[in-house]
Amino acid sequence: MIESKAAKVLRAAGLWQWFCSFDSLGLKATWIDTRLGWSSMTLSSPSSAAPDADQGAALPPPTRPSIAIIGLGRVGMVLGRALHAAGYPLVAVSSRSPAKAQAAAALFQAEAATPIVAAQAADLTLLTISDDAIPGVVAELAVAGAWHAGQSVVHASGVSPAAVLAPAAAYGAAIGGLHPLAAFASPETTLPPGLTFAIEATGTLHAQLWAMARALGGYPFDLDPADKTLYHAAAVIASNYTVTLAALASELFARMGAAPEEALRALVPLMRTTLDNMERQGLPQALTGPLLRGDVSTVQRHLAALDESVPRVGALYRCLAHGTLPLAQQRGLPSDMAGALQDLITLPGEMVVEREV
């Protein structure tokens, strides 16, 4: 199956999904308008004299696949609730804990089942289990005869390629990845709208996962398996290291005598307003602070205080300042100020790689 450049643009714009395939009538373009349903037309035909009876005819909207969820941790429960609320038929749920499976089954109007029965019952099995467990579980299910053609199996890992599901593909199942780009700290979390769902899949499964991401109020995003490590590193930087930054800032608050909860109470609204600014104004407009203002003496005082009391935080401050300076320059920081700040944040003997601004 191939996809034209124009179709990619349309799809990136979130309006269409477009597939081109050869069939008995020639090159056939099929698209799905996520609001209206399926349509198709033949673009060219090897026997072009033959009229295309199908041309322009509207096909019925795609049916939603029935779903089984294996693994009822945070993501399994959050996606399960969201899919159920969005009207997807959840036919089976499976957990190593029978009590957990029963509770989820009651919640989603599904059956509590063993992994093999769950996988056999559904069109699409979501393997929401820990990354390390995926290869073993999918292989065990393959040996048990769970997988067959016409079925799909999808994991929720942001770093593993769909190829880890190869034992299912060997039996004819379509394989894919659907990664909701969010940090779910608890199974009780409600799936927020506006999430990006990174999708690795082809053919019908690709269309189904795109439709699913949209039905969950999100943005589908095609992710090449070769880019998954970078994608996941980006997620770790944006999410996990935000927590690290809050922890380090709290450590400085502790030196002023603040209790941990007092520090967090002070820092979270500050961080939230920064996020709000990013959402509203984008980058680099959301940047505020001494580097943007070219306030050399403030940065100098920061570094002196940090180097004296918490040198490892001083080192991180310098590192992050190197990443911040180009943003300040994009906002018009004059080059003499940028140069002075650059000298200040660069330790003697440290190599600075010039970055394009």
**Residues in the site for ligand NAP, rule: CB under 6 A?**
71-76, 95-97, 100, 128-131, 133, 137, 155-158, 179-180, 182-184
- Least distance from ligand NAP to the Cβ atom of residue 128, Å: 5
Contact 235, 106 (CB under 8 A): no
Nearer to ligand NAP, 73 or 294 (CB): 73
Order of strands across the sheet with 16-23?
Answer: 16-23, 26-33, 37-44
How far does CA 175 lie from the centroid of its chain? 17
Order of strands across the sheet with 67-70?
Answer: 111-112, 90-94, 67-70, 124-127, 152-155, 174-180, 196-200, 219-222
Nearer to ligand NAP, 191 or 333 (CB): 191
- Least distance from ligand NAP to the Cβ atom of residue 211, Å: 19
Nearer to ligand NAP, 97 or 309 (CB): 97
Q: Give the span between the Cα atoms of 51 and 131, in whole angstroms.
A: 51
- Least distance from ligand NAP to the Cβ atom of residue 156, Å: 4
Nearer to ligand NAP, 158 or 290 (CB): 158
- Least distance from ligand NAP to the Cβ atom of residue 116, Å: 13
- Least distance from ligand NAP to the Cβ atom of residue 79, Å: 9
| Location of structure tokens 């390390």 | 132
Q: Are strands 26-33 and 196-200 parallel, antiparallel or unpaired?
A: unpaired
Contact 65, 173 (CB under 8 A): no
Nearer to ligand NAP, 179 or 206 (CB): 179
- Least distance from ligand NAP to the Cβ atom of residue 249, Å: 23
Nearer to ligand NAP, 59 or 237 (CB): 237
DSSP state of 90: E
User: H or E stretch including 152?
Assistant: strand 152-155
Nearer to ligand NAP, 119 or 287 (CB): 119
Contact 128, 147 (CB under 8 A): no
| Location of structure tokens 């996941």 | 232
- Least distance from ligand NAP to the Cβ atom of residue 111, Å: 15
Residue sitting closest to ligand NAP (CB): 73
Instruction: Please give the structure tokens belonging to residue 91.
Output: 């036919």
